[in-house]
Amino acid sequence: FPVTIGSYKRYETDESEKVNDVLFCGSLHLEERTSILRKLLDNKINLRIAGGRWPAENTFENFEDYANEFRKTKISLNFAASPYCRYQRKGRIAESMACGALCITTYADVLKNRTGTWFEVGKHLVEFNLDNCVDVVNYYLKNDAERIKIADAGYKHWKETCSADIFWPDRKSVV
């Protein structure tokens, strides 16, 4: 995926090509996810749900299709709660940023570490929860300039700190 492909590909997508207002790629095996997604749908948010444990028509054939869906997205949802451990740093955050989508996440505190934080709330991504999810999503859908500013800062930070160019600077020696 983009994290491993790094700068081999260009992830920038023109705003006019972003046909998904909001995207969630993943499974619905936690109550928090279903509650937030249901609330967004009930409030007429244009939400695409795909990936994870879905019928074949809602899954992706390959990683390229998966990445393309993020590229066509304005806002990508990330849920940090996990059935396997309390909270985790999901790859979906980096995937969203690598493809230029604004990532909004639950429990952003999970991004903190001993020396600071992996990504900063309000600068690289946005935090949301069940109580404010509709307001947060609607705000960033109506305020394109601010959404794009944060998404661009997230992309730039991802590229400078998480891309393959950082992890594998001499890719030829890896192959």
- Report CA-CA distances (Å) from 35 to 29, 86, 112, 115, 156: 11, 18, 26, 34, 32
Are 135 and 70 spatial neighbours (Cβ–Cβ below 8 Å)?
no
Q: Give per-residue pLDDT as tens, 7-61.
A: 434 456 677 788 889 998 877 777 888 899 999 999 999 998 887 655 545 566 6
Rounded Cα–Cα distance for residues 82 and 146 (Å) = 29
Global pTM? Answer: 0.76
The average pLDDT across 119-139 equals 91
User: Using alpha carbons only, what angle is made at residue 51 by residues 49 and 52, rounded to the nearest 5 degrees?
Assistant: 115
